[in-house]
Amino acid sequence: MSKGIKIAGMTEIMGRRMKESWQTSPRVTYSMSVEISAAEAFIRTFNGAHEQENLKINYNHLLMKACALASKKYELFNSSVEGDEIILHHEINIGLAVATEKGLMVPNVKSVDQLTFKELCQETRRIIQGAREMKLNYDDICGGTFTITNLGMYGIEGFTPIINQPEVAILGVNQICTRLMMEGETILTKRFMPLNLVADHRIIDGAMAAEYLNQVKGSLEAPEMMEA
């Protein structure tokens, strides 16, 4: 026998926002892969140095910082549309999609471009824990200017996330993959993280999206340059 489940609470709110986004933003998806050997080494070094403090960074922290720095350079990625105006935000607040028992939540870390990785690690841990325990405050949920959603740990090889209104772009992160590469006459095995940037084409064109992704790629492939 069929069973009906009433759409309510967070599911209702998320559904309404996703419908609004789908009807509002003309979306284009741009894909690029990042070679992660330097990122892996940076994570190992950082976590080893902060083991006594129980601080561990992961790819999400590097992605958040890389996107924040790219948004600082390409300010339209840190904007929203209100009526016939583009609002450029002075803070770069990166939202991170978090799966909870009651549905998806997107808390955000404020002024990510100004944080050290230690500070970013501490604040990200706080908002993720708060989301899962339903203990976030209003400020944790509101004010985001760019969102990252990472499905790589679920084995997802490619997806097109829906923009989190009123933002104008979102980054989807896919499963890390291994590829054989030729360098001269030598065959090497390298690991790559595929990224999908979805952008509102009213505001962001293809050339700008490509420049933004290349900036993110450059930061992830030289993560030591991102430390504030």
pLDDT tens per residue, range 137-194: 999 999 999 999 999 999 999 999 999 999 999 999 999 999 998 888 899 999 999 9
What is the pLDDT, as a whole number, of residue 228? 59
Which of these, 59, 5, 14, 90, lies nearest to 192 by C-alpha position? 59
What digits encode the pLDDT tens for the residues 60-77? 999 999 999 999 999 999
Contact yes or no for 74/97 (Cβ under 8 A): no
Q: For the chain, where are the alpha helices, taking DSSP H only?
A: 9-24, 37-49, 59-73, 117-132, 138-141, 206-220
DSSP character for 168?
S
Distance between CA 144 and CA 167 in Å, rounded? 8
186 backbone dihedrals φ, ψ, rounded to 5°: -105, 135
CA dist 126 and 179 (Å) reads 35
Distance CA 18, CA 21 (A): 5
Which residue ranges make up each domain of the chain?
30-226
CATH superfamily name and code, 30-226? Chloramphenicol acetyltransferase-like domain (3.30.559.10)
Active site positions, annotated: 201, 205
Q: Are residues 205 and 211 in contact, defined by beta-carbon separation less than 8 angstroms?
A: no
**Across the chain, what does the average pLDDT equal?**
92
Buried b (16+ CB within 10 A) or exposed e, 58-89: ebbbbbbbbbbbbbeebebbbbbbeeeeeeeb
pLDDT, position 102:
79
DSSP lists the bridge partners of residue 195 as: 32, 173
Q: Which residue, 67, 115, 33, is CA-closest to 215?
A: 67
- What is the predicted pLDDT for the residue at 6? 67
Q: HSE, CB side, 13 Å, CA atoms: give it for residue 101.
A: 5
Region 76-88: mean pLDDT is 93
Q: Which two tokens stand for residue 212?
A: 């933004």
The pTM of the whole model exceeds 0.85: yes
Q: List the Cα angle 162/164/165 in 5-degree steps.
A: 120
